[in-house]
Amino acid sequence: MLTKNFVQVGDKAPNFSAIGVFEQEFKQITLSDYLGKYLILLFYPLDFTFVCPTEIIAFSDMYNSLESLNAEVLGISVDSEYCHLAWMQLDRESGGVGDLRYPLVSDLNKEISSSFNVLNNEGKSLRGLFIVDKEGIIQHCLVNSLDVGRSVDETLRTLKAIQYVQSNPDEVCPANWQPGQSTIKSNINHSKEYFQSI
């Protein structure tokens, strides 16, 4: 029997409780409080860096689209809550992130990043993105190196696909699927309908 010490798709997301910053205030953030919603966990290396603000801002700017899909976002790094607050108080033109539509969580003790297996050897979080469903189950994970930013559009597309197949358990979504496009019946005979149509 193989043993594992890391989370993967299909596992229950490890619960955590930590201090976050939202609307210029410190707030206790607990993963289990988000049950009943889809949750995007956005791990990133450090505040006051280069790629990180582009991602943090992009997800904030697309927050309405995510919220319309019953989804919330948590940004998580190994910075302190004070560092998060200072970063939020700095305007975007000066390298800050300004007001955000979602909390930034402090993982100063690095326990959250470790539990999601995104902590690198330098003690920073890799660019890990996890989509957790309404039941607290990890449905998607993506991990980039420190130098490569993630796509909000692809996150939205993936979230919509996850929601679709959860609502239609006899169907699966092909590559590059967008809402309204054909899906594949998860049956060897009926699946031919899709392949004959492309």
Catalytic residue numbers? 52
- Angstrom distance (rounded) from CA 42 to CA 150: 10
**Concatenated DSSP letters for 117-185?**
T-B-TTS-B-EEEEEE-TTSBEEEEEEE-TT----HHHHHHHHHHHHHHHH-TTEE--TT--TTS--EE
Q: Are 91 and 100 in contact (CB under 8 A)?
A: no
3-state secondary structure of 21: strand
Pairing of strands 71-77, 38-43: parallel
> SS3 helix, strand, coil % of the chain, rounded to 5?
30, 25, 45
Q: Of 121, 122, 120, 142, whose CA–CA distance to 131 is shortest? A: 142
Q: Dmax of the chain from CA atoms?
A: 58
| CA-to-CA separations, 63 to 70, 82, 186, in angstroms, rounded | 11, 23, 32
